[in-house]
Amino acid sequence: MSSVIIEILQERRVMVLLLLVALAVGWVMANGGPTNGGLKFGIDFSGGLRVPVLLEKPVDSAVMQEMVKTISTRASAFGLTEVRVRPVGDQQIYVEVPQANPGLVSDIQNLLSKQGVYLSVVDGVPAVQGDDLLTSRIYLLPSSQLAETGADWGVSFAVTPQGQQRFVQAAKGKTDYPIYMFVDRPSDAIIVLSETDLLYKANLSGTRVLSLSQADALKAARDCLRLRNGDVAVYTEADILSAESNSSILIPASNRTQAILSNDSSAALQNKLKSAGFHVVLKAPADMRPEYRPGSGGLSSTYLIDSWAAVGLKSAPTLTAAVTQGVAGYNVYSITGPAEGTGSARAADANRKGREMVAVLKGGALPVGISLGSTEQVPAPLGAEFLRLSVIGAIFAMLCISAMVALRYRTLKVVLPIIFISISEVIIIVAIIGSFSIDLAAMAGIISAIGVSVDAQIVVTDEILKKEAHEDHQERLKKAFDIIMVDAAVAICAMLPLLFSGLVQIIGFATTTILGYLLGVIITRPAYGVIVKHLVEGPHHASHAAPAHEKKN
């Protein structure tokens, strides 16, 4: 028996399985163990953090459901992470995330701080609007395309025929003009900049623009925010402080007109704007600083603003002659932008910004303006007891299946390998899913994976135990793996609609189920075939135990 075990342990497929199990256990323990950070648990198990979303006015049930759907679609960009979205009354929505992942709160807040209104503008004329976007064709640009533009992140999208026609009319004859791409461009507002913020990016050593004057910078800012019937005025702090109380620049266009300025601006400036009737909106200094670039072609004597966080300007690519001929046919566009930091931190920031942009564009614009309340704790409904019961359920499922297998085969040579393979598979799945969040849906998927694993192993065992004279073990194993491959393919196809449904409540179940099937087909089923073949037929059969789909002709 010892010689059989040695041969099993020397098999490459078994060694790979044992290595993955060791890595999974090691990763969990190295990160604090199963209950101290090594595994992240969902709201039902560990509690959560709640971000209240306050609507600017009460809405009816139809609008509320649209709001919930839009926020849920945006939240689904976070993949395996559990995010709950539920309405409260007619003017509030709760967004809840697991307490084990507090870093997600800032991502959610950034995501929800955008109303999501997309607009691109060419020479003051709207070119493409949010309703024109085809949400099924919004995706992150691959690194190969980003390398051509020099951007850190990028999102590609396509537009409807109506949007394409609007773009053709706006861009006709505008070769070398920029197309300003905004998300949540302010409308009823003025922008107030200090000279330092206005010229900050222009005066940085080593940048492309070093000779930009204040007049050039103001012209670029005003050109950027020019829009037919919707200009946003741009002033310097000196303009506002020196203006008389009856000056036109201190007269709001309406009782909702905003004045957007830096949060380090003087109290005197803020008070003067408030006294004039403006709603003062404070932004971080970094957001108030436009990023410039020289114009091109016919616009070479001017400067352009390439990105500007305070007004939602994401990028401003230059229109080429090919797309300004007034002929329809170009309907794929992209938004690109820079990331912050260096090395891996820069890559992570680029991924976050790109993912947020995809989420905002896919989710669409919120029909009502929102504001975010203070984050608060959400207790777990049953907490540790809920987790304990779930683990007991998984163990009970394993015991029941083991008992049924024992009654069927009545030999430890088959029962023990099945239990070992199933436990190994669960350990690997838990380590992977636990890196994100184990919620109730994921736990249901883990329990389901136990049954799927045993089912596949029974198929392999039954084929190996057959004693038909006209078939050798290789042919029998081939039959088993053909059945398993078809079963896995059908199950994965069935789960894909759930995975991409945008319903965050079931993403964990779909992902865990798919992961279980892939792990079984690639790793655990081949390893089980090797183990049970050795145990049933004795030593010296290693060369015959490989799955038939790896047999060489």
Q: Does residue 134 fall inside a structural domain?
A: yes
Q: Does residue 540 fall inside a structural domain?
A: yes
Shared domain check, 538 and 451? yes
Q: Residue 63 is part of a domain; what is its CATH number?
A: 3.30.70.3400
Rounded CA separation 139/162 (Å): 21
Shared domain check, 498 and 408? yes
pLDDT the model gives residue 303 = 83
- How many H helices and E strands in the chain? 19, 18
Shared domain check, 13 and 55? no
Cβ contact 525:548 at 8 Å? no
Interval 347-388: pLDDT, tens: 888 888 888 888 778 777 788 888 888 888 777 655 567 777
Rounded CA separation 358/306 (Å): 20
Helix (H), strand (E) at residue 468: none
Shared domain check, 408 and 264? no
> What is the count of structural domains for the chain?
3
Shared domain check, 134 and 105? no
Among 337, 360, 393, residue at a domain's last position: 337
Shared domain check, 244 and 215? yes
Shared domain check, 107 and 123? no
Q: Does residue 173 fall inside a structural domain?
A: yes
Shared domain check, 539 and 391? yes
Mean pLDDT across the chain: 81
pLDDT the model gives residue 224 = 92
Shared domain check, 130 and 23? no
Quick count: other Cβ atoms within 10 Å of Cβ 332?
A: 11
51 pLDDT band, cuts 50/70/90, is confident
Among 111, 133, 162, residue at a domain's last position: 111
Q: Does residue 6 fall inside a structural domain?
A: yes
Cβ contact 178:304 at 8 Å? yes
pTM score: 0.63
Interval 419-453: pLDDT, tens: 888 889 889 998 888 887 787 788 888 888 888 88
Q: Does residue 346 fall inside a structural domain?
A: no
Shared domain check, 139 and 101? no
Name which of 85-89, 113-117, 194-198, 502-506 the model is least confident about. 502-506
Buried b (16+ CB within 10 A) or exposed e, 8-29: beebebbeebeebbeebbeebe
Q: Is the per-residue pLDDT at 467 higher than 70?
A: no
Closest CA to 502 of 67, 70, 133, 104: 70
Interval 77-107: pLDDT, tens: 655 456 788 898 888 998 887 775 556 677 7
Shared domain check, 170 and 289? yes
Among 95, 111, 127, residue at a domain's last position: 111
Domain that holds residue 59: 48-111
Interval 209-229: pLDDT, tens: 557 788 889 999 999 999 987
Shared domain check, 56 and 162? no
Residues in the chain: 553
Q: Does residue 367 fall inside a structural domain?
A: no
Q: Phi and psi for 454 in degrees, rounded to 5? A: -65, -40
Q: Does residue 475 fall inside a structural domain?
A: yes
Residues of the chain above pLDDT 70, percent: 86
Closest CA to 536 of 485, 488, 477: 477
Rounded CA separation 74/512 (Å): 21
Q: Does residue 375 fall inside a structural domain?
A: no
Rounded CA separation 357/155 (Å): 7
